[in-house]
Amino acid sequence: MDPLTAIPLTESALTCVKRAVRQHYPNHKSSHLTEAIAVACGFATHAALRARMAGRAAQHPDFALLQELPFLSRLAAVTGDPMSDKDLRGFSFDRLVYEGTDVIRTASKGAAKVKYGGSNRRRAWRNAMVAGINAGIEQGLFTPRAGENSWSAPDPRCEGCTYRFTIEGIPAIASVHDAGWDELSIHVALWPTAEGERWVRTMYGGNFAGEVFASGWLERRDGAWLQVGDGPELSCRKRRLAQVAALNIRPKGYADRGSFRL
């Protein structure tokens, strides 16, 4: 089951999800649902989720994809009821009925066609892009929701910015620009050069920007997903390819694959 629903990690969003889940599991204890939802968001416990929320400014919440299998596994563990085939086939966060506007849909028609498994280059591109997008969200520069740009500029809709981060010890730099229609143009350079901050802003920065350079677009109007075309926009030194392809990075509130928009 692919995750198709995302939320900001806020009180209102978690309440919204819990109410929707309760419609599917009306006889389960509130505390059990709370624990299972935390695991669905990628946390080991509800306490860990609360700690993460407490460490974020209210205006810049973290975001998470809701994953069904971790939710069902944790629910089975806390209730003592084994996970059934009915649960596996019948439960989906994407099919629940939510109240309010906290939920972010991440499904697109082209998502099922995107495969990363058979190509180191495609996985490396995906991992560099997800790392760069996650870092921008973590730093409060933008969110997966339409129009939510917060980087410092006279007009965040037009001017972009660069920002630095690390991923599993790898130094990195990224740039973001509003591409119009609520899309973001993202460029990412890993192991950046001395001139990386200058070149990462360009579409074809390549090895002038860093030993790995990737570019792409984040859709946010009709849902939130990384747009994937026929071939990845990737420049990568051969000696770095396997390392970047092997990274394990979970997107923060958007899908790592979806339709390419023109």
- The answer to whether 28 and 91 are in contact (CB under 8 A) is no
CA-nearest of 224, 239, 240 to 147 is 224
Evaluate whether residue 259 is within a structural domain: no
Per residue in 68-91, pLDDT tens? 999 999 999 999 988 877 777 788
Instruction: Kindly tell me if the per-residue pLDDT of 153 is higher than 90.
Output: no
CA-nearest of 219, 39, 204, 211 to 114 is 219
Among the candidates 105, 125, 154, a domain finishes at 105
Per residue in 108-128, pLDDT tens? 887 888 888 888 999 999 999
pLDDT value, residue 204: 87
The tokens describing 106, both together, are 């991440």
Share of the chain above pLDDT 90, in %: 71
pLDDT value, residue 260: 83
pLDDT value, residue 210: 97
- The answer to whether 189 and 173 are in contact (CB under 8 A) is yes
Helix (H, G, I), strand (E, B) or coil at 20: helix
* Residue 95 shares a structural domain with residue 124: no
* Residue 97 shares a structural domain with residue 196: no
Instruction: Kindly tell me if the per-residue pLDDT of 64 is higher than 90.
Output: yes
- The answer to whether 253 and 143 are in contact (CB under 8 A) is yes
The radius of gyration computed from the CA coordinates of the chain, to the nearest angstrom, equals: 19
Evaluate whether residue 101 is within a structural domain: yes
pLDDT value, residue 3: 59
Per residue in 219-254, pLDDT tens? 999 899 999 987 789 999 999 999 999 999 999 999
Instruction: Kindly tell me if the per-residue pLDDT of 255 is higher than 70.
Output: yes
Of 8-17, 97-106, 153-162, 215-224, the range with the lowest mean pLDDT is: 153-162
Instruction: Kindly tell me if the per-residue pLDDT of 103 is higher than 60.
Output: yes
Evaluate whether residue 152 is within a structural domain: yes
* pTM for this model (two decimals): 0.90
* Residue 95 shares a structural domain with residue 128: no
pLDDT value, residue 217: 95
Evaluate whether residue 232 is within a structural domain: yes
Evaluate whether residue 255 is within a structural domain: no
* Residue 219 shares a structural domain with residue 117: yes
Per residue in 181-228, pLDDT tens? 999 999 999 999 999 999 999 988 999 999 999 999 999 998 999 999
* Of 18 and 158, the one with more pLDDT: 18
> Residue range 9-28: average pLDDT?
93
* Residue 141 shares a structural domain with residue 57: no
pLDDT value, residue 143: 94
Instruction: Kindly tell me if the per-residue pLDDT of 148 is higher than 70.
Output: yes
Which residue range forms the structural domain that includes residue 48? 5-105
- Computed over every residue of the chain, the mean pLDDT equals 91
Please name every residue paired with 166 in a beta bridge, in sequence order, or none if there are none: 171
* Residue 100 shares a structural domain with residue 118: no
* Residue 151 shares a structural domain with residue 63: no
